[in-house]
Amino acid sequence: MAPLPDDVRVSIVIATRDRPADLRECLAGLAAQRTTRVVDVVVVDNHPASGLTPPVVAAFPTVRLVNEPRQGLAYARNAGFLSCRGEIAVATDDDVLPPPEWLETLLQPFINPEVMVVTGNVVAFELQTEAQRLFEAYGGLGRGVTRKVADPHWFHGCRSAVPTWTLGATANAAFRTVLFDDPHVGLMDEALGPGMPSGVGEDSYLLYKVLQAGGTIVYEPTAWVWHKHRRDMAALRRQIYGYSKGHVAHHLTTLLRDGDLRALVNLCVLLPAYHIRRALRWAAGDRTYPLTLLALEVRGNLAGPWALWQSRRRVRREGRSRAAAPIQVRA
């Protein structure tokens, strides 16, 4: 297929919070992309008070810095999206390493004007520690090697909750920026995602809204990036607990905000059945995934409703996302 024309303007948004070494490597990977287009790179500092991010950005003179002091990945990504100068906004994380061909491969499906979002695969950079291997046993971030196309027909044809989490995540995703001004889509839900009590769900719910509004999403596995999994068990436990809360928070959001009763099938039937199957495999002698982590998932699921309520209270206090003024950083 033909590449996306160079005159289509693209912005890359990286949300970061006090991980200067990871951010430096990520920015170096972006600087090494094999592309002839002008790319606008935006770094959103989600903890400006620390002062750790500006010196890193200063080493990359073409990169713009935006501050978003309100804690939460959705707040940070929204601040980046609002400051984008391109027709397409690419989202990635500071703990991601992109190969040189990544950007153009991710952009190529946008040659079809019906495609509103493109996501790519996220593969483990290393599997050296027990925590990293267990995260892959949990499910990891990879979504396989098969290309997927999700459209409104797929959305309405799902009998249970629409599994947008199988289509990828904003560690590796690109959006047409017109979506953020669409009243049926808009920005990320600030009450969902890391940095909020709810844990995760900000990206899966944004994909849900795109499909609900009639958009098409392409998962392109050849547009892959490396991801640095958490190396220690304490960080892994926090991550899995957050994912478990966020999964329930996502379903509750589609149920309560969108009236999608299919969420009840997952919450009341499929999710308990999933835990039972894993427990039975463990009882049968399969020790690939520890029972302690399975119990942690159940605890996270049960905490999901309370966590979502706490997150919504915080958003009411701190306000919704708004345009943030860019900060010029010089070396």
Stretch 5-20: mean pLDDT, rounded? Answer: 97
Please report the pLDDT score of residue 19 as a whole number: 98
Confidence of residue 323 (pLDDT cuts 50, 70, 90): low
Residue 274 makes CB contacts below 8 A (sequence gap 6+) with none
Stretch 41-62: mean pLDDT, rounded? Answer: 98
Kindly report, residue by residue over 142-163, the tens digit of the pLDDT. Answer: 999 999 999 999 999 999 999 9
What domains appear along the chain, each with residue ranges and CATH number? 10-232 (3.90.550.10), 245-311 (no CATH)
List the one residue out of 309, 172, 294, 295 whose CA is nearest residue 248.
309
Stretch 203-218: mean pLDDT, rounded? Answer: 98
Stretch 157-172: mean pLDDT, rounded? Answer: 97
Q: Output 307 or 3, whichever has higher pLDDT.
A: 307
Confidence of residue 330 (pLDDT cuts 50, 70, 90): very low
Per-residue pLDDT at 327 exceeds 80: no
Per-residue pLDDT at 276 exceeds 50: yes
Q: 91-100, 288-297, 322-331: which range is least confident on average?
A: 322-331
Confidence of residue 119 (pLDDT cuts 50, 70, 90): very high
Please report the pLDDT score of residue 322 as a whole number: 81
% of the chain beyond a pLDDT of 90 = 96
Please report the pLDDT score of residue 328 as a whole number: 46
Stretch 54-67: mean pLDDT, rounded? Answer: 97
Please report the pLDDT score of residue 2 as a whole number: 80
Stretch 2-24: mean pLDDT, rounded? Answer: 96
Please report the pLDDT score of residue 331 as a whole number: 34
Q: Output 96 or 328, whichever has higher pLDDT.
A: 96
Mean pLDDT of the chain: 96
Please report the pLDDT score of residue 53 as a whole number: 98
Q: What is the pTM of this model?
A: 0.95
Stretch 77-85: mean pLDDT, rounded? Answer: 96
Confidence of residue 329 (pLDDT cuts 50, 70, 90): very low
Stretch 287-296: mean pLDDT, rounded? Answer: 96
Stretch 169-194: mean pLDDT, rounded? Answer: 97
